[in-house]
Amino acid sequence: MDSRFEREELLIGLEKVNRLAKAKVLLFGVGGVGGYTAECLARAGVGHITLVDSDKVDITNINRQILALNSTIGKHKVDVCKERILDINPECEVITKQLFYLPGTSNEFNFYEYDYIADCIDTVAAKIDIICRAKECGTPIISAMGAAGKLDPSAFRTADISKSEYCPLAKVMRRELRKRGINHVKVVYSPESPIPPKEGRKPGTISFVPAACGIVLAGEVINDLLAEDNCSSGGKTFDN
């Protein structure tokens, strides 16, 4: 076994390390939340990761995004993320798609081929479409709710969206998903009331909050992939 995963093998066993190596995860968004999700997936040894994001690194990302450094400003986030993943685990298969996901670009993806989908974007229309398509395919999905305007990293938790509270994004998502006949989807959210942005300004963010959300989300993906009833590479038996 690759010694870089030796400590993980001591925790979960070689069979499960190999299970992660065979898993295919589709990750939408590698910004404040998704960048940390990608980091954890890579360090856990997930063997096939598809990264989707249209953005380039901007100097305003440096306060909270793991991919944002002075040396990466102006580079496409998916390219920076791929380089980082391969520096962590050269055996990982990393596919990048530089696009802004909307329903009109869904034909770029075969949602059936993945073991798990992680939604870390913040566009409601895109999030809804991704969830709907994942549900149609029976592919497990987890969706990140709002992380901006918050200060308590310990507040993030995993729940069914029907159980989420005090999250404005989750409230909108619940309503729109119900219109489409979807009442249940796994989400990561914080019940902390967000600090409202100043008039005409974007919501504020701080270093540790998006990171906490992304790590919690990645942990849920990894633990689901390791669940005893999941056979990996198509073992889509999760209840979400």
For residue 203, is pLDDT > 70? yes
Per-residue pLDDT reduced to its tens digit, 54-83: 999 999 999 999 999 999 999 999 999 999
Sheet hosting strand 157-160, strand order edge to edge? 93-97, 48-52, 24-28, 116-119, 141-144, 186-189, 157-160
Q: Does the domain made of 12-226 have the CATH classification 3.40.50.720?
A: yes
Per-residue pLDDT reduced to its tens digit, 91-145: 999 999 999 999 889 989 999 999 999 999 999 999 999 999 999 999 999 999 9
Of the pLDDT bands very low, low, confident and very high (cuts 50, 70, 90), residue 200 is confident
Closest CA to 52 of 76, 73, 75: 76
Q: What percent of the chain is modeled with pLDDT above 90?
A: 88
Phi, psi of 229 (to 5 degrees): -90, 5
Tell me how far apart the alpha carbons of residues 240 and 230 are, in angstroms, rounded to a whole number: 13
39 SS3 class: helix
Taking the whole predicted model, whether its pTM rises above 0.85 is answered as: yes
CA distances from 140 to 25, 36, 64 (A): 10, 20, 28
Domains in the chain: boundaries: 12-226
CA 188, distance to chain mean position in Å, is: 10
